[in-house]
A and B are shown apart, each in its own frame.
Chain A
Amino acid sequence: MRRVGLALVGIILIIAIFAPLIAPYTPTEYVGQSLLAPNSSYLLGTNDLGEDIFSRLLYGARTSVSIGFFTALLATFFSLLIGVTSALFAGVYDLFWMRLIDALLAIPTVLIIILIAAFFRVSLWGMIIILSLLSWQQGARVIRNQSKSLLKSNFILAAQGFGAGKLHITLKHLLSHLLPLLSVQLLMVFRRAVFLEAGMSFLGVGDPSLVSWGRMIRQALEYIYLGSWSWWLLPPGVLLTLTILGVVLLEYGRDSQRSI
């Protein structure tokens, strides 16, 4: 399972990183007649603006992966920061964050993104920041609970007995024990971010000039009566599914490993 997941994610990563080398054209280049069916020079034909669909597909991986990767990094950092400090300082500080998390979890994410996008320009980085701000809550709560129980364990009590400060305990002891949790967290946020970005682009929210799978699906739908779905609509859908499936399998692999 884990291997399949690793392979899938690996392939997508390679596509994303080496897109400029693999892609025959730049994704926004006018390469020829629009709405061509697949042929030897345009593997997946061209879209309504005469851009090469295959190249756009490869570059779309870049958008998905970078949004997933940076959102996961940023959101997990927030989770860690808030989770660990809540466990350490406890009291009103802890109460404040936990209630805030409750409140934030109750608000539907998609709605917030659409609202923000209605008032502000949402670039690639803007999308990453919004998604991060909406993805740290669950992780923070899990990390806080885990840290709380770790803080009661003997080795930390012992360290405290020897006069270790909060910073020392966090860096030396807590972090290393939180690592498995963090990696699950990273994968979960990654998967969610990739999915949300595709969904938002499909709805037409965000930067219209971003080359993204969700947006490709949206554009392909407009021309669906031309019979172009099999080379324009299907490929981004399949790649999106494979990416998310790959990450899910990785997560599953981690879980089953741990339970053994």
Chain B
Amino acid sequence: MKKSLSIILVVVLVVGMGAFLSGCGQETEVEIVRIGDENGDWGYPTPHGHYLRGPGYLRMSFIFDTLIWKDENGFVSALAEDWEYDEEENCFIFELRDDVRWHDGEDFTAQDVAFTFDYLQKHPYPWANLDSVEKVELIDDYQVKVYLSQAHAPFLERVAGVMPILPEHIWAEVEEPAEFTGEEAVVGTGPYELLEYDQTQGSYHYAANQNYYGGEPIAEELMFVESSNPEMALQRGNINAAGVMAEAIPELEQQGFELITGNHFWAAKLMMNQHQEPFDQRKFRQALAYAIDREELVERGLRGYGIAGSQGLIAPESRWAAEDLPEYAYSPEKAKELIEELGYTMEDGIYTKGDQRLEFTLLSFEDRIPEIIKQNLAKVGIEIELRVLDTASLDARVDDWDFDLAMSGHGALGGDPMVLNQMILDDDPKSVRFEENQDLLDKLNQQLRIMDEDKRLEMVKEIQSIYAEEMPAVTLYYPEDYWAIDDTIDWFYTEGGVAIGIPLPLNKLSLIERDIN
């Protein structure tokens, strides 16, 4: 008995040792890339599971591929090898790759693409608006024709380049996509497969998809970890890349980190609840624009690392930006004048009309800039109480119109000007959801139909000037965005931003030995 036990023990030890040694052999190839994030949780990494914010989409984009994608120079092929627009038939023809497999080993075919269009029309995915799609026709196993009901200029950038393709054999049965989680829910075609998502820790852990059609993933494993002080975490070597504060640049550079920066394609906005007095008055909204010193926000709040907001929303360096917009240069006098025109009188330093006093709560995801806004508004007789919330709660309150003022923001300002439609009309907490001006509505609608770029630009400029006039939200500033990266991965900023224009350097192509083009 004793003897047999020791034999078993020896066998176990030998086998165990062997496994250990072979594990060591692989170890040399294993490379984990860790990315720090101050927020941590951005939702479950499926199309309907992630929070509708850039970082949420990015976490999903490592798993699910789109028809086409973008790199630092513009469109590149992804699941579709080739694509063209047939003006006569008003349709896009996509030639798909025939060497793609889903993470579970099934073949990817045109059937999946047709299914995804169909599925996302039934269960809308807000970031890929399919209203313009009339029908999808399969030509053969690897060719689809997408017919549009009317011309839709942003189709490539906003549908083909954003819409994650789902496996029909899994999702056909799913009725509640937002509730669908588990191993099957994260089967995609992307370069990484999800190992673990931990909502409370705010961490995402992925393993490389060795059969990725677009080239071999450089890192064996990829992790997003919550990091409240990314500068420290970088210095300690806990993470390989993170967005950092500009002040940390000299020190981080000295330690050998590379600092990269993108364009000003993210804007902070002061949202106003137009369903409530006095924000339903255009004059009052304009008064707020005059009252807030946006130069001071940049100089003092961002310590110079950014540019003041243009009231047309689109960042001035975008090729879609309008010049000659009303400036609303800082003028407390002008602001007071406008408020007084609305019938308010100053009482104890606060403007009052009847029993209505200009006292509001300002919700925000941070506390420093709102502090300056509070001081600015105090000078024009408006009293502000600050409340700091996490992004998800802030978005939820804004979504329910349960706020007076809210400081929020969004990216996507470098991509297609369809962003104007989304940020003015869409039912989304980042959008001002402003439908008062019929002319604005018509023009927004029209700009999507103009396939000629120059003519479209004219229309987009007119939209910006109406927006600036109506002032549904004050565009506060565009911050400079800095990422510190070590030498593991060569992260880059995508032309116009990733997918719909996410101004972060986390493009999945950075992680691939690229032979796509």
Residue of B nearest to A204 (CB): B388
Question: In the complex, are the beta carbons of A121 and B235 less than 8 A apart?
Answer: no
Residue of B nearest to A209 (CB): B386
Q: Is B469's beta carbon under 8 Å from chain A? A: no
A219: which B residues are within 8 A, CB to CB? Answer: 368
Summed over the interface, the residue pairs from A and B with CB atoms below 8 Å come to a total of: 51
Question: In the complex, are the beta carbons of B367 and A204 less than 8 A apart?
Answer: yes
Question: In the complex, are the beta carbons of A221 and B388 less than 8 A apart?
Answer: no
How far apart are B366's CB and chain A's nearest CB, in angstroms?
Answer: 9
Q: Is A50's beta carbon under 8 Å from chain B? A: yes
Q: Is B387's beta carbon under 8 Å from chain A? A: yes
Encode B354-388 as 1/0 by CB contact (under 8 A) with A. 00000001000001101110110000000001111
Q: Is B137's beta carbon under 8 Å from chain A? A: no
CA distance A121 to B247 in the complex (A): 32
A207: which B residues are within 8 A, CB to CB? Answer: 385-386
Encode A1-35 as 1/0 by CB contact (under 8 A) with B. 00000000000000000000000000010100011
Residue of A nearest to B232 (CB): A225
Asked, given contacts A28-B371, A28-B375, A224-B232, whether A208 binds B387 with beta carbons under 8 Å apart, the answer is yes
Question: In the complex, are the beta carbons of B229 and A224 less than 8 A apart?
Answer: yes
B235: which A residues are within 8 A, CB to CB? Answer: 225
Q: Is B124's beta carbon under 8 Å from chain A? A: no
Q: Is A49's beta carbon under 8 Å from chain B? A: yes
Encode A79-91 as 1/0 by CB contact (under 8 A) with B. 0000000000000
CA distance A34 to B296 in the complex (A): 12
Q: How many residues of B contact A (CB 8 A)?
A: 24
Instruction: Say which residue of B247, B303, B367, B375 sits within 8 Å of A208 (CB atoms).
Output: B367
Interface size class of chain A, counting residues whose CB lies under 8 Å from the partner chain? 20 to 34
How far apart are B38's CB and chain A's nearest CB, in angstroms?
Answer: 10
CA distance A30 to B295 in the complex (A): 14
Question: In the complex, are the beta carbons of A34 and B371 less than 8 A apart?
Answer: no
How far apart are B379's CB and chain A's nearest CB, in angstroms?
Answer: 12
Asked, given contacts A30-B300, A208-B386, A224-B232, whether A48 binds B368 with beta carbons under 8 Å apart, the answer is yes
How far apart are A218's CB and chain B's nearest CB, in angstroms?
Answer: 9
Instruction: Say which residue of B229, B375, B386 sits within 8 Å of A222 (CB atoms).
Output: B229
Asked, given contacts A224-B229, A225-B235, whether A48 binds B303 with beta carbons under 8 Å apart, the answer is yes
Question: In the complex, are the beta carbons of B372 and A49 less than 8 A apart?
Answer: yes
Q: Is B251's beta carbon under 8 Å from chain A? A: yes
A204: which B residues are within 8 A, CB to CB? Answer: 367, 388
Instruction: Say which residue of B247, B296, B372, B387 sits within 8 Å of A226 (CB atoms).
Output: B247
Residue of A nearest to B372 (CB): A49
Question: In the complex, are the beta carbons of B388 and A208 less than 8 A apart?
Answer: yes
Name the 5 nearest CB pairs between A and B, nearest first.
Answer: A208-B367, A208-B386, A225-B231, A208-B388, A34-B303
Known: A28-B375, A35-B247. 14 other contacts (CB 8 A): A35-B303, A49-B301, A49-B368, A121-B361, A123-B385, A204-B367, A207-B385, A209-B371, A209-B374, A219-B368, A222-B245, A224-B229, A224-B232, A226-B248
Residues of B with Cβ closer than 8 Å to A?
229, 231-232, 235, 245, 247-248, 251, 296, 300-301, 303, 361, 367-368, 370-372, 374-375, 385-388
Q: Pick 18 A–B contacts, CB within 8 A, sort by A.
A: A28-B375, A30-B300, A35-B303, A49-B372, A123-B385, A207-B385, A208-B367, A208-B371, A208-B387, A209-B371, A209-B386, A219-B368, A222-B229, A223-B247, A225-B235, A225-B251, A226-B247, A226-B248
